[in-house]
A and B are shown apart, each in its own frame.
Chain A
């Protein structure tokens, strides 16, 4: 992967908050730590899922 491709990929990731959020919440689940900060990210994810009709 050349430098330009890497930069472009990073930019795409930066433009897609859903993808970033998904990565953060995956890390949270794997970490096994759950405080207020983690809860807010999971809340954001849940609201996004509700928008997409994926939530329970």
Chain B
């Protein structure tokens, strides 16, 4: 039995938002495996912030800015910079890691991950031939789909923890060691106190705006964040501030531009936080809504003008979701967002939970046939989302979605044919002595199906996330050995078939039961 603590490294070479969103993952790891040693690789620009974070055993600060400066310095040549990076990474590379989790959806994170001496890697990396490799469905989703907020309804925090295999349902709030600055602005903040990080509202609030009874601390410099601790509510248009406050358990009202859905990925986490989507044309109306939210006045019966108020909550599986706080109109696109959420959660998540990530299905078999109760998903979308939070327009949206079943069925049939063609390919390459022509013909058939799938995706906007995910998985395939290639091609068709079937079944289910909505 091994006694050494487990060595885990998390590579996060993204921004401050992503650094904050990685913290729940660290705490999940530490609570599941208290003896593990967790190292967090981050950009050196966040060194000061890192010093406030408790519970991480060590940091490695990647000197990205320094390297960038050196690349611009004409007195340094390529060899100088090569040696600098080699020396800089040497301590990180000298450890043997049990697990590397790369949450960076950029090549730079994948390259560093590929250099680490690791037993298991989760997230983007490169193999010994330099080919991109992501052997984890949630991290595939992070790299291929999530950056498009159009059809993504998952918080990055959930994607990180699911991808790493440390997802635990429930509230994930933890304390950060942000000591109130004794000289700073925390003095004088008492009850009914608000921390404001939204420059466009500063003047309106100073002018009164119904907030005369409140103590308001305004964000000026990063040091003034300490004042946030003494406040009951944080109003912010800055994702970093909103995330930090919500992670510390402070109630947040995040202000987002209308039509911008980035809050789904980066918004305040935990339950009972708010996002106010506004267009900035009417500060009075915005302030009025803010005051209602702060004073816990019900806004479900009011008729907000151009604003939409969203509340964060945890869904039945423990994932963060944002639902409207008042009835909103429902577009078909919005409806598809909810459907996609159910699809991804099941085709990415359930497989992991089933502990059987890579096995062949019989042709035409769907994961959903085995592990998913479609009616449960339909019921959740219909009763817990659409019926509660949308106005009469939802029935029209469901009807419109119903008319799109035909192209979805077409996609499903192509994926079905693809599975068959890919198995023929596997059979061809498995038997020694097969003619090269046979192999070529078999691959040609797969390419024809691929092309038909791509062109279907271009024709129908609502299919694009499924096709983009399929296409990305395909683009990453390189011919190393025909046998594993054939197996991977089968998996990509199986995934597409499952997802297209799922989408079709949910829309059919919603169309059949309009009474639930």
In the complex, chain B residues whose CB is within 8 Å of the CB of A17: 71, 77-78, 81
B82 to chain A, nearest CB (A): 6
Q: Which of A2-52 contact B (CB under 8 A)?
A: 17, 20-21, 24, 28-29, 32-36, 38-44, 46-48, 50-51
- Which residues of the partner chain B approach A42 to less than 8 Å between Cβ atoms? 107, 111, 130
Q: Known contacts A44-B85, A46-B108, A47-B108; decide if A32 and B71 are in contact (CB<8 Å).
A: no
- Contact in complex: B107, A56 (CB < 8 Å): yes
Contacts A32-B129, A32-B130, A42-B111 given: A47-B82 contact, CB under 8 Å?
no
CA distance A38 to B114 in the complex (A): 11
B114 pairs with A34, CB closer than 8 A: yes
Contact between B130 and A43, CB atoms less than 8 A apart:
no
Residues B85 and A40 in contact, CB atoms below 8 Å apart: yes
Inter-chain contacts of B81 with A (CB < 8 A): 17, 44
Interface of B is mostly: helix
For residue B187, give the distance in angstroms from its CB to the closest CB of chain A.
Answer: 42
Residues in A neighbouring B108, C-beta threshold 8 A? 43, 46-47, 50, 55
Contact A40 to B77, CB < 8 A, known contacts A46-B108, A51-B71, A55-B106: no
Chain B residues numbered 97-155 whose CB sits less than 8 Å from any CB in chain A = 106-108, 111-112, 114-115, 126-130
Check B71 against A47 for contact (C-beta < 8 Å).
yes
Q: How large is the interface on A (under 10, 10 to 19, 20 to 34, 35 or more residues)?
A: 20 to 34
* Among candidates A21, A40, A51, residue contacting B86 with C-beta atoms closer than 8 Å: A40
Cβ-based interface call for B200 (8 A)? no
* Cβ contacts B364-377/A at 8 Å (1 or 0 each): 00000000000000
Q: Is B64 an interface residue (CB 8 A)?
A: yes
Looking at B112, B114, B130, the one whose CB has the most chain A CB atoms below 10 A away is: B130
A22 CA to B503 CA in the complex, in Å?
44
Q: How far is the CA of A40 from the CA of B350 in the complex (A)?
A: 37
With an 8 A cutoff between CB atoms, is B481 at the interface? Answer: no
How far does the Cβ of B202 sit from chain A's closest Cβ, in whole Å?
Answer: 32
The distance from the CB of A40 to the nearest CB of chain B, in whole angstroms, is 5
The distance from the CB of B443 to the nearest CB of chain A, in whole angstroms, is: 20
Give CA–CA (A32, B130) in the complex, Å. Answer: 7
User: Min CB distance, A44 to chain B, in Å?
Assistant: 6
Partner of A20, one of B78, B89, B111: B78
How far is it, in angstroms, between the C-alpha of A43 and the C-alpha of B111 when the chains are bound?
Answer: 6
10 A-B pairs closest in CB distance:
A34-B130, A17-B78, A46-B108, A39-B115, A43-B111, A32-B129, A40-B85, A39-B111, A46-B107, A42-B111
Q: Identify 13 new A-B residue pairs, CB closer than 8 A, beyond the known A17-B81, A33-B129, A47-B108.
A: A28-B130, A34-B128, A34-B129, A40-B82, A43-B108, A44-B71, A44-B78, A47-B67, A48-B71, A50-B108, A51-B71, A55-B106, A56-B107
